[in-house]
């Protein structure tokens, strides 16, 4: 088993805050002495089932701890989902139905195991124990916390001050999450920095119930490919972990240079010493950041699509973008498969008109006939393309590039 | 059945507030039309089992409604008692044990039926339904109310503003009490004015659960025999409903004249028209208020001890106090039986020394031998008195009077 100090170093990579370091070190040492893996807890709210690199940050950290021998418990907050996490929200959420929760949970499960080690992971639904609590148990739970403490939470405080209503039931979200930690006897709870209040409540509540307090491990939020906003599907600055290798590779290559190290820290499992070396490389003026980013793209693509897919994606990228001098920050059009399919093949003229590359079908046909159109850097003079051909760059003339993505 | 208007008049006697009159009138009319008695609810917190006239105010009002044909449901808040009603308290109460609750409830039951009509009363423990609620039911319940609404309650608001902690569980007291009304489909809930928040919450909650809203009927607080403070055992200004006839009669005679009408309204079942007549009598300068108070004392004593006991008590009072010109506002000493018993009889010398009437046993003996001691107006020259002799006036010389009460 790797010694506690080395484990500590690996766990601390990229972490934004830990409460507290002494407890973490102590837990690691005890784990080694007693040969007992630590229980690493992550609670997931079954509301946003499309996992992207932003969500992967905590999951990758858990995977790193699994590689060190520890055990993960993923809580699907099916019971909690019935309330809706009010974290950071200015209004009470609509509760989910049982069907929605179950469907989201299945999608989650599928995606989570693209990152975590299945053999070292338990997946649990918190309804297992929360649904068994009766009124008296709930009263006991509620008695452990004061109203003032609840109103200290930023979002509650703001809503209270601004006369926006807070349903009394919303106070139970942090309590339920905290009670999960009591039930699991969690050693470490993972979360984003927006989870500080809830995770620290778990720490307190475990003590109130006579258990050892968990270590709270907070990961920073990851900016999306635009380098500015938090990665999010709605902002279209995301890299989805279920996307194809070519897309993951290409999207990673659009990440701004100043985020390369942060991505290495948060989106890969590369050892902190190695990340440190990469940082030094980047500071070397002789090194082209693009080459370092190629390594980042390869690392991330390999994590989700495997080594050979990643190599193909890299080759494709080199062919399309580098050999043909295609810039990598070109506009992307996302089209639905329905609107561009013809006789089971993809109709290029439809793509060109739908995306605005050509003003009309006749103009699109003319451009194709004139050999003015390249697909992924190669001249293309047919109107139909084999299907599926889901992500490619279309070039018209010498200077016009558009990325096209076709979705089902 | 008595018509709605007349019922309304009887119910409204002495009431401090009703929310609202229209609803009450409507319920009374519907009750007559459908020949269905109204369900009158009273929640009792099983913490203070010695019922005195102060507590009797709401019970008497319920008795009056029973006499009009309605049905009472008394809720012993055994489940609620596990939290402790925070009403008017500046600190969270200690929860009661199951044993304490059961014992208090038994005492309550015994006393309550000294006032209520047993045939028209159901006695229920709210654990019957509250203990069956699971976490999800509790969440549903909590979702019906906002944190801001809870913090509007005076005592919560004050504690919050003064940084005194409010346990989250305390918010459930009003919710439980309100849920009791949902469960019972109460038509009227009775309470003191300090119960306004809780009872009105019941009114709202019934609506949220798709039931008819109850009428809230608030009774004023009754001042004790000192005429100043709220009647309370600890302030020794109380008239207990389980006290003996002589004591009830005598104590009632110490009520200040300005409270005679209030006592008639709140502590007797006399018809409002009759109370009105008494009021006019009192305004007549030819009438001695003491005679009106005699009637009050007789009424109250009859309610709790029966007619013949009340007559004996009145006779006793007249003999002791009126014929012997004993003032009725004399000091009272309460002594425990243990400290004044001798050979199964009561040792008068001990009473005289314990109460400070005599400085020493020898002085007490001397006074008794000198025929200077009267008991209830009669000369007494023995050292021992028959036991039990629980309440009497001892007179030493011509001007010194002391009331003595011996308790087990």
pLDDT exceeds cutoff 90 at B219: yes
Cα B323-B328-B331 angle, rounded to 5 deg? 130
DSSP letters spanning A306-318: -HHHHHHHHHHHI
* Per-residue pLDDT, A48: 58
Greater confidence (A342 vs B131) lies with B131
Q: Please judge whether B147 and A139 are an interchain contact, meaning their C-beta atoms are less than 8 angstroms apart.
A: no
Q: Please judge whether A139 and B165 are an interchain contact, meaning their C-beta atoms are less than 8 angstroms apart.
A: no
- Segments making up each domain of chain B, as ranges: 4-219, 245-323, 332-407
Average pLDDT for B72-97: 70
Residues 37-56 of A with CB under 8 A from B: none
**Does an H or E element contain A127, and which?**
helix A127-130
* Per-residue pLDDT, B355: 80
Query: What's the CA gap between A125 and A46, in Å, rounded?
Result: 10
Q: Note the pLDDT tens digit of each residue in B273-323.
A: 999 999 999 999 999 998 999 999 999 999 999 999 999 999 888 877 776
Architecture of domain A332-407: Roll (3.10)
A400 is in an annotated binding site: no
Q: What interface predicted TM-score (ipTM) does this complex get?
A: 0.73
Query: What's the CA gap between A266 and B247, in Å, rounded?
Result: 82
CB of A142 within 8 Å of a chain B CB? The answer is yes
Q: Please judge whether B168 and A171 are an interchain contact, meaning their C-beta atoms are less than 8 angstroms apart.
A: yes
DSSP letters spanning A23-91: HHHHHHHHHHHHT---EEEEEE-TT----BHHHHHHHHHHHHHHHTT-EEEEEE-TTGGGT---TT-SS
Phi first, then psi: give them for residue B133, nearest 5 degrees.
-70, 135
How far does B185 lie from chain A, in Å, by closest CA?
21
Pairing of strands A384-385, A345-347: antiparallel
Q: Is A152 exposed, middle or buried (0-12, 13-18, 19+ CB in 10 A)?
A: exposed
CB of B142 within 8 Å of a chain A CB? The answer is yes
| Chain A residue whose CA is closest to B172 | A139
Query: What's the CA gap between B172 and B80, in Å, rounded?
Result: 9
Average pLDDT for B377-396: 76
CB of A169 within 8 Å of a chain B CB? The answer is yes
| Chain B residue whose CA is closest to A156 | B147
Pairing of strands A400-407, A332-336: parallel
CB of B158 within 8 Å of a chain A CB? The answer is no
Q: Note the pLDDT tens digit of each residue in B46-71.
A: 775 678 999 899 999 999 999 999 99
Number of alpha helices (DSSP H) and beta strands (DSSP E) in chain A:
17, 14
Q: Please judge whether B171 and A146 are an interchain contact, meaning their C-beta atoms are less than 8 angstroms apart.
A: no
* Per-residue pLDDT, A403: 81
**Chain length of chain A:** 408
* Per-residue pLDDT, A330: 74
* Per-residue pLDDT, A147: 92
DSSP letters spanning B347-393: EHHHHHHHTTSSSSHHHHHHHHHTT-EEETTEE---SEE-S---EEE
CB of B405 within 8 Å of a chain A CB? The answer is no
B152 CB contacts (<8 Å, ≥6 apart)? B197
Contacts with B169 from chain A: Cβ below 8 Å: 139-140, 142-143
CB-side neighbour CA atoms (13 Å) of B142:
26
DSSP type of residue B346: E
CB of A167 within 8 Å of a chain B CB? The answer is yes
CB of A172 within 8 Å of a chain B CB? The answer is yes
Query: What's the CA gap between B167 and B7, in Å, rounded?
Result: 43
Q: Please judge whether B131 and A130 are an interchain contact, meaning their C-beta atoms are less than 8 angstroms apart.
A: no
Contacts with B150 from chain A: Cβ below 8 Å: 147, 168
Query: What's the CA gap between A175 and A144, in Å, rounded?
Result: 9
| Chain A residue whose CA is closest to B81 | A136
Contacts with A168 from chain B: Cβ below 8 Å: 142-143, 145-147, 150, 171, 175
Q: What is the dihedral of CA A354, A357, A359, A365, to 10 degrees?
A: -90
CB of A152 within 8 Å of a chain B CB? The answer is no
Q: Please judge whether A136 and B131 are an interchain contact, meaning their C-beta atoms are less than 8 angstroms apart.
A: yes
Question: Cis bond leading into A400, ω under 30°?
Answer: no
pLDDT exceeds cutoff 90 at B333: no
Are residues B50 and B85 in contact, defined by beta-carbon separation less than 8 angstroms? no
How far does B155 lie from chain A, in Å, by closest CA?
13
CB of B312 within 8 Å of a chain A CB? The answer is no
* Per-residue pLDDT, A89: 52
DSSP type of residue B329: S
* Per-residue pLDDT, B180: 96
Q: Mutation test of the interface with chain B: which of A139, A152, A167, A178, choosing the one with the most B Cβ atoms within 10 A? A: A139
* Per-residue pLDDT, B30: 95
Measured between alpha carbons, how far apart are the two ends of chain A, in Å? 46
Q: Mutation test of the interface with chain B: which of A81, A86, A135, choosing the one with the most B Cβ atoms within 10 A? A: A135
3 state SS of A242: coil
Residues 78-97 of B with CB under 8 A from A: 79, 82-83
pLDDT exceeds cutoff 60 at B90: no
pLDDT exceeds cutoff 80 at B93: no
Q: Which of B187, B184, B216 is nearest to B201 (CA)?
A: B216
* Per-residue pLDDT, B325: 65
Q: Is B408 exposed, middle or buried (0-12, 13-18, 19+ CB in 10 A)?
A: exposed
The pLDDT profile of chain A, 408 residues, written as one tens digit per residue, is 789 999 999 999 999 999 989 999 999 999 999 999 999 999 987 775 678 999 899 999 999 999 999 999 999 888 877 665 555 554 555 667 778 777 887 888 888 899 999 999 998 999 999 999 999 899 999 999 999 999 988 889 999 989 888 999 999 989 999 999 999 999 999 998 888 999 999 999 999 999 999 999 999 999 999 888 889 887 888 999 988 998 899 899 989 999 999 999 999 999 999 999 999 999 999 999 989 999 999 999 999 999 999 999 998 888 777 766 666 667 778 888 777 777 778 888 888 888 888 888 888 888 888 888 888 777 787 888 776 557 788 888 766 778 887 876
Q: Mutation test of the interface with chain B: which of A138, A156, A159, A164, choosing the one with the most B Cβ atoms within 10 A? A: A138
Q: Please judge whether B135 and A138 are an interchain contact, meaning their C-beta atoms are less than 8 angstroms apart.
A: yes
Q: Mutation test of the interface with chain A: which of B133, B168, B180, choosing the one with the most A Cβ atoms within 10 A? A: B168
Nearest neighbour of B166 by CB, restricted to A147, A166, A175: A147
* Per-residue pLDDT, A325: 65
Query: What's the CA gap between B163 and B382, in Å, rounded?
Result: 63
Q: Please judge whether A135 and B137 are an interchain contact, meaning their C-beta atoms are less than 8 angstroms apart.
A: yes
Residues 174-193 of B with CB under 8 A from A: 175
Query: What's the CA gap between A222 and A204, in Å, rounded?
Result: 28
Query: What's the CA gap between A59 and A42, in Å, rounded?
Result: 8
Query: What's the CA gap between A241 and A76, in Å, rounded?
Result: 19
CB-side neighbour CA atoms (13 Å) of A115:
28
Query: What's the CA gap between B63 and B81, in Å, rounded?
Result: 25
Pairing of strands B391-396, B373-375: antiparallel
A-to-B residue pairs, Cβ atoms closer than 8 angstroms: 101
- Please tell me the least confidently modeled range out of A284-293, B117-126, B350-359: B350-359
Contacts with B135 from chain A: Cβ below 8 Å: 79, 130-134, 137-138
Strand order in the sheet with A188-192: A17-19, A215-219, A188-192, A39-44, A71-76, A121-125
Nearest neighbour of A134 by CB, restricted to B133, B163, B172: B133
**Chain length of chain B:** 408
Match domain B4-219 to its CATH number in 3.40.50.620, 3.40.50.1260, 3.40.50.300, 3.10.180.10.
Answer: 3.40.50.620
Cα B182-B169-B78 angle, rounded to 5 deg? 55
Contacts with A160 from chain B: Cβ below 8 Å: 147-148
With cut-offs at 50, 70 and 90, classify the pLDDT of residue B342: confident
Q: Please judge whether B148 and A160 are an interchain contact, meaning their C-beta atoms are less than 8 angstroms apart.
A: yes
How far does A178 lie from chain B, in Å, by closest CA?
15
| Chain A residue whose CA is closest to B170 | A143
**Does an H or E element contain A161, and which?**
helix A154-161
Architecture of domain B245-323: Orthogonal Bundle (1.10)
Contacts with A175 from chain B: Cβ below 8 Å: 168
């Amino acid at each position: 088993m790797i010694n506690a100090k080395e484990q500590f170093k690996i766990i601390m990579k990229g972490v934004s805050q830990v409460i507290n370091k002494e407890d973490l070190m102590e837990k690691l040492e005890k784990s080694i002495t007693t040969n007992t893996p630590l229980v690493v807890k992550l609670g997931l709210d079954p509301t946003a089932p499309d996992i992207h690199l932003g969500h992967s940050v905590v999951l990758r950290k858990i995977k790193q701890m699994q590689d060190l021998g520890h055990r993960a418990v993923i809580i699907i907050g099916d019971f909690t989902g019935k309330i809706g996490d009010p974290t950071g929200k200015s209004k009470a959420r609509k509760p989910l139905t049982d069907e929605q929760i179950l469907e989201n949970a299945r999608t989650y499960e599928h995606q989570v195991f693209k990152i975590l080690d299945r053999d070292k992971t338990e997946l649990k639904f918190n309804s297992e124990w929360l649904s068994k609590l009766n009124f008296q148990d709930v009263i006991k739970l509620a008695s452990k916390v004061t109203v003032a403490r609840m109103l200290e939470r930023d979002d509650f405080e703001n809503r209270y001050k601004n006369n926006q209503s807070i349903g009394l039931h919303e106070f139970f979200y942090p309590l339920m999450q905290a009670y999960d930690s009591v039930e699991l006897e969690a050693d470490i709870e993972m979360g984003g920095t927006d989870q500080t209040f809830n995770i620290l409540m778990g720490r307190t509540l475990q003590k109130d119930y006579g258990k050892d307090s968990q270590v709270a491990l907070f990961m920073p939020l990851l900016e999306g490919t635009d380098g500015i906003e938090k990665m999010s599907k709605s902002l279209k600055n995301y890299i989805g972990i279920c996307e194809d290798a070519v897309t993951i590779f290409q999207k990673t290559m659009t990440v701004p240079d100043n985020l390369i190290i942060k991505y290495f820290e948060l989106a890969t499992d590369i050892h902190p010493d190695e990340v440190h070396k990469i940082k030094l490389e980047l500071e070397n003026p002789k090194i082209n950041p693009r080459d370092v980013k190629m390594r980042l793209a390869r690392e991330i693509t390999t994590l989700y699509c495997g080594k050979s897919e990643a190599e193909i994606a890299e080759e494709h990228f080199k062919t399309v973008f580098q050999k043909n001098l295609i810039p990598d920050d070109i506009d992307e059009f996302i089209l639905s498969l329905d609107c561009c399919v013809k006789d089971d093949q993809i109709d290029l003229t439809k793509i060109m008109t739908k995306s605005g590359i050509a003003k009309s079908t006749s103009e699109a046909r003319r451009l194709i006939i004139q050999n003015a159109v390249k697909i992924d850097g190669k001249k293309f003079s047919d109107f139909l393309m084999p299907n599926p051909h889901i992500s490619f760059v279309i070039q018209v003339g010498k200077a016009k590039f558009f990325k096209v993505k076709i979705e089902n």
